Amino acid sequence: MRIQSLASALAATGLCASLSGQAQTPPAVNPLDNVPDNMPFDVPYGEPISLDRAQSAIAAAIAEAKKHHWKLNIAVVDSGANLVAFQRMDGAQLASIAVSEHKARAAASFRRETRVFEDNIQLKQAYYTLSLDGIVASRGGIPLLEGGKLIGAIGCSGGTGSQDEVVCKVGAATIK
């Protein structure tokens, strides 16, 4: 009986509040409704990266990782997100083998750094990002651009996202 009285009182309070004339907060504007004039991340595709260039990018990334005593896995894919080269540093986490490849594939497939997906979720609360196939929402996937065209991507994994990103950027810098 006492629970019914409490429930009735709460219901009446809610009814009174809704009838009191308090203005309802209008729904927030959905930023996803914005229609940009230009296509974001509209990077044209170039010739796929060669094995020699992929190995050079990996070598630069490994040299950077060694400076910091980080043990990473590094993958390079071509513009179609197909694996071209991979290297696992001694002692690098085994689970990060697949993650490094996934980061590289996501960066090539979506033509943007994987940090964009991390930021979408953590900073912009754009949780729809998680529903897209092939997404990895962690730093460490960088597109490889030559002459403004996508020739591949590099992915690093085994450290923190920020460590992975630092190493990937050094590898990506070998492509001019």
Residue 6 has pLDDT above 60, yes or no: no
17 in a structural domain: no
95 in a structural domain: yes
135 in a structural domain: yes
| Residue 88, domain CATH | 3.30.450.150
Average pLDDT, the chain: 89
152 in a structural domain: yes
Percent of residues, the chain, with pLDDT higher than 70: 86
Give one DSSP letter per residue of 68-121, joined into a string: HT---EEEEEETTS-EEEEEE-TT--TTHHHHHHHHHHHHHHHTS-THHHHHHH
Could you give the number of structural domains in the chain? 1
64 in a structural domain: yes
pLDDT tens track for 40-61:
888 999 999 999 999 999 999 9
119 in a structural domain: yes
Domain that residue 106 falls in: 51-172
